[in-house]
Structure 1
Amino acid sequence: MTICRHVLHKLTVSTFLLAIPFHAAYAQDANAVAERFKKVLADQGMNFTWTGVSGDTSSLALEGVTFAPAGQAEPVALGRVTFDGITEQDGGYRIETITTEPYSTTEEGMTFDISAATFTGLTLPPEGETDPVAAMAMYEGMEIASISAKLADKTLFSLDSLSFDITPPAEGAALEFTGSAEKFTADLSIAEDPQAKKVIEALGYQTISGNFEMAGSWQPSDGRMGLTQYDITVDDAGTLGFTFDLGGYTPAFLKSLQEMQKKMAEQPAGADNSAQGLAMLGLMQQLTFHAANIRFDDDSLTGKVLDYVAEQQNMKPEDIANQAKAIVPFLTAQLNNPELSAEITAAVGKFLDDPQSIEIVAAPPAPVPFALIAAGAMSTPLDLPKTLGVKVMANDGE
C-alpha cells in the first residue's frame, strides 16, 4: 500500500480518475470468484471467510483466510490463499491451482506444522446448478510436502509427500480417487507407561517409519462407495490394511448429513444434542453394508513379539505359539458359533506356524441395511457374524 501511494502521488489527476473504475472492476471480478468459492463450500458444509481480496478473474489472492468444517467451532487461520489460472467454464469457474501458506500452531508445548498445500484442477459450478454432483466443488489433485508434530525440539511425528488424485464422475462413470504418503515417522520412545516403554524398546520400535496408500471409488447415481485399498505399512513390522463396500451414500444422503452437521455446529456450547444424535442415527439407516475386510501382512513383527514373550516367560518362541493356539478355541467358544470358532482356530494356528498374513472378511450373501446391523448389535450381538458373513483366513487361504 505504501508503494501504491507514492506512485499515485506522482500521477496526474486525470490519470488517477481513469484508474479508479478499472481497479474497481478487477476487484469486483475477483470478489465474484471468491464469493462463488465461499458459497459452494458453504453448500458442502464448510465455512470459508477472508478479510481482503486482490487481483482479477485470472489470478487473485485472499488475505486473512479462515476455514472451519461443519461441527468445528474454532476456525483454522490459513492466512493468505492464492488462486491462479482462473477461467470461466460453463457459467462457473475452473481454477488451475489454489495454494495456501505454510501453517503452524502451538498448543500446550506441541507445535504442529504443515507446509504449503496445493490443489489443482478445481471446478466451481455455476449459480443455480441443480445436479447435486455437478454442484460440488471438486479438485483433481492435492499435494502437501510435509506435516510434522514437535514437542520442544523433538519431532514426534512427520509425514512426507502427501498427495491425493481424483477423477471426477463424468457421463455416468464413478468418481475414482487415490492417495499416498511417501514416508511417515513416529517417535514411540516418549511413551510414559513404563511397561509400554519396556516392550517398545525390546521390540526395537523406539522410532518407526513407513508409508500409506489408499484407493477407492464413488458412484453418485446409486450411492455405492468402495474403499478398495487403505494400507499402512510400518517398516520391519508389517502392513495393516482394510477395505469396505457400502451402498446408499447418495448425493441426497451427503447433503442431509452436511445440513445436520451444520445444525449441530450451530448449537450453543453445552446444549442438548440428543435429538440431533438420534436424527443422525436415523440418517445412517439409509446405508447398506456390502463387504469389509481387515488384513495384516507380517514383516517380522509376529516373530519379534513371540521372541519377547518367550524371553519374559523363559520359554521358547514355538512354545509360546503353541500356548496361544491352545487358548484360542476357549476364547472363541464364547461366540456361540462353532463354524466361525473353528475357522479362527485354524487360521491363527496356521499364521503362528508360518506368519505371512491373517485376514478377517465380512461378505454377506446380500446387502445388509445398517438398521438391521444396529438392531442386531443391541439385541443379538452374537448373531452379527452370521448376518455379515464373517470369515477368518490365514496366509491367503482358508
Structure 2
Amino acid sequence: MTIRRHVFHKLAVSTFLLTIPLHAAYAQDANAVAERFKKALADQGMNFTWTGISGDASSLALEGVSFTPAAQTEPVALGKITFDGITEQDGGYRIETITTEPYSMTEEGLTFDISAATFTGLTLPPEGSTDPVASMVMYEGMEIASISAKMADKTLFSLDSLSFDITPPADGAALEFTGSAEKFTADLTQAEDPQAKKVIEALGYQTISGNFEMAGSWQPSDGRMGLTQYDITVDDAGTLGFTFDLGGYTPAFLKSLQEMQKKMAEQPAGADNSAQGLAMLGLMQQLTFHAANIRFDDDSLTGKVLDYVAKQQNMKPEDIANQAKAIVPFLTAQLNNPELSAEITAAVSKYLDDPQSIEVVAAPPAPVPFALIAAGAMSTPLDLPKTLGVKVKANDGE
C-alpha cells in the first residue's frame, strides 16, 4: 500500500512538472498572438491594451480590453474579447472569429448600447511585413445584432442586424465590400426646435423606420476607391443614395492620413492645429476626382411636403409646385451657367409634375486633381460645375 502511494505520488508530481512548461508554452503563444494583434493595430494608428490573458495559441481571451481609435485620445473600455480558431499563416496568424462583449455607455442621460460584435476571417500580417496591403488588419465579415440610443428608457434610435462582408485583395484583384442594416428606427418627437417638431408632426414622421445598403471596391495598387452604393431608405418617404469614384487612395496615402490624425489627436486642447491642417490639405492633393452622384427616389415624401406647404398658404399642392418651378430659373441664374440652369429647371419641373427620382451627377471627362478643385473653390467657385461635369436629371431609371 505504501509502495502504491509512493508511486502515485511520483506520478502526480511528474505530471505536474510536465504540465508547467506546457502551460507556459501555451501562455507564451497566446501572448504572441495578442502582441501581434496589438502591433498590427498600432501600425494603423490605434492603441489596444488589456489587463489579463488566458488560453493558448488556438483560442484565447483578453480581459480588461481598452481601445483608442485613431484621431481620438479617450480610450473605449471593451471588457472581454475572445479569439477562436487561431492558426499560423505565412508567418502571421488567421483568426476565424473574434467576439466582443455587449457594450454600454451612459453620458448626460443618454445610454448607448451595442450588442456583442463578431468578426470573422481576420488576418494578422507577419512581423516586419513590407507589403503595405498585407500589413493591414483585414476581416472578411462583421456582425452586430443591435445598436440603440435611449434617453430615460425611451428609445431614440435603434439599428438591427448590421453586417459587413469584405473580399480581401488577392492576385491583383480589388478589395470588394458590402454592408447593410436590416432595419433602423428613430423617434423624431424629441426634436428641440418647435418649428421642426411642428413640421415633423404635420408630415406624419414622428417615428421613422427604414434600412441601408452599401457596396464598393478598392484597388490598392493604384488607389482607386469606388463607393457604388450607399442607399438610406426611409419607409413611406424615399431613398437617398450616394456614390463616388476617387483615385490616389493608396496604402501609403492611408498610412500618412492615419499618422496625421494621430498627431492631431495628441495635440493638447486649444493648441494651434493650423500646421497640421495645412499638412492635411497637402495630403488630400494626392487624390483625384473621377465621379460622384446624389440621388433621391421618392416614396410619397414630396407629395406630403407639397400638401403641408399648401395648407400653410391656403393653396392647392399643384399651385405650390408651379410656384417652385417658376422660381427655379431665377435661383439658378446666379450660377452664371445658362446650360446648367436650363437643365436644373427642366429636371425640377419634370420631377414636381411626377415625383419619381431626381439626381445630381458629377462626371468630368477626365480625372480632376483635388488640388484643382480646391483652387477653383477659392478663386472661381462658379466654374466648378463645368470643371466637374455636373448634370441634373429627373425620373431617369437606374
Q: Give the TM-score normalised by structure 2.
A: 0.96
Gap runs ≥5 in structure 1? none
1:125 CA drift (Å): 1.0
Contact 1:175 1:218 in 2 (8 A): yes
Once structures 1 and 2 are overlaid, which stretch shifts more, 206-215 or 62-71?
62-71
Contact 1:175 1:219 in 2 (8 A): yes
Shift in CA distance, 342/10, structure 1 to aligned 2, threshold 3 Å: farther
Shift in CA distance, 357/182, structure 1 to aligned 2, threshold 3 Å: same
Provide Cα deviations, 1:92-122, integer angstroms capped at 9, x if missing partner: 1000000000000000000000000000000
1:195 CA drift (Å): 1.1
Contact 2:72 2:262 in 1 (8 A): no
Once structures 1 and 2 are overlaid, which stretch shifts more, 18-27 or 216-225?
18-27
Gap runs ≥5 in structure 2? none
Shift in CA distance, 318/90, structure 1 to aligned 2, threshold 3 Å: same
Q: C-alpha separation between the residues in 1 aligned to 2:233 and 2:130?
A: 42
SS state at 2:11 partner: coil
SS state at 2:189 partner: coil
Aligned to 1:77: 77
Shift in CA distance, 206/78, structure 1 to aligned 2, threshold 3 Å: same
Contact 1:125 1:136 in 2 (8 A): yes
Q: C-alpha separation between the residues in 1 aligned to 2:9 and 2:333?
A: 88
Contact 1:8 1:16 in 2 (8 A): no
SS state at 1:135 partner: coil
Q: C-alpha separation between the residues in 1 aligned to 2:212 and 2:164?
A: 12
Once structures 1 and 2 are overlaid, which stretch shifts more, 9-18 or 25-34?
9-18
Shift in CA distance, 134/327, structure 1 to aligned 2, threshold 3 Å: same
SS state at 1:331 partner: helix
Shift in CA distance, 93/9, structure 1 to aligned 2, threshold 3 Å: farther
- The alignment's C-alpha RMSD in Å is 3.9
Contact 1:30 1:54 in 2 (8 A): yes
Q: Give the TM-score normalised by structure 1.
A: 0.96
Shift in CA distance, 316/280, structure 1 to aligned 2, threshold 3 Å: same
1:268 CA drift (Å): 2.3
Once structures 1 and 2 are overlaid, which stretch shifts more, 137-146 or 268-277?
268-277
Q: C-alpha separation between the residues in 2 aligned to 1:304 and 1:67?
A: 45
1:7 CA drift (Å): 20
Q: C-alpha separation between the residues in 2 aligned to 1:4 and 1:351?
A: 95
1:13 CA drift (Å): 5.3
Q: C-alpha separation between the residues in 1 aligned to 2:262 and 2:351?
A: 47
1:2 CA drift (Å): 32
Shift in CA distance, 23/306, structure 1 to aligned 2, threshold 3 Å: same
Shift in CA distance, 7/335, structure 1 to aligned 2, threshold 3 Å: farther
Number of residue pairs matched by the alignment: 398
1:8 CA drift (Å): 16
% identical aligned pairs: 93
Contact 2:161 2:182 in 1 (8 A): yes
Q: C-alpha separation between the residues in 1 aligned to 2:378 and 2:150?
A: 42
Aligned to 1:370: 370
Q: C-alpha separation between the residues in 2 aligned to 1:239 and 1:280?
A: 33
Contact 2:209 2:234 in 1 (8 A): yes
Q: C-alpha separation between the residues in 2 aligned to 1:5 and 1:54?
A: 34
1:192 CA drift (Å): 1.6
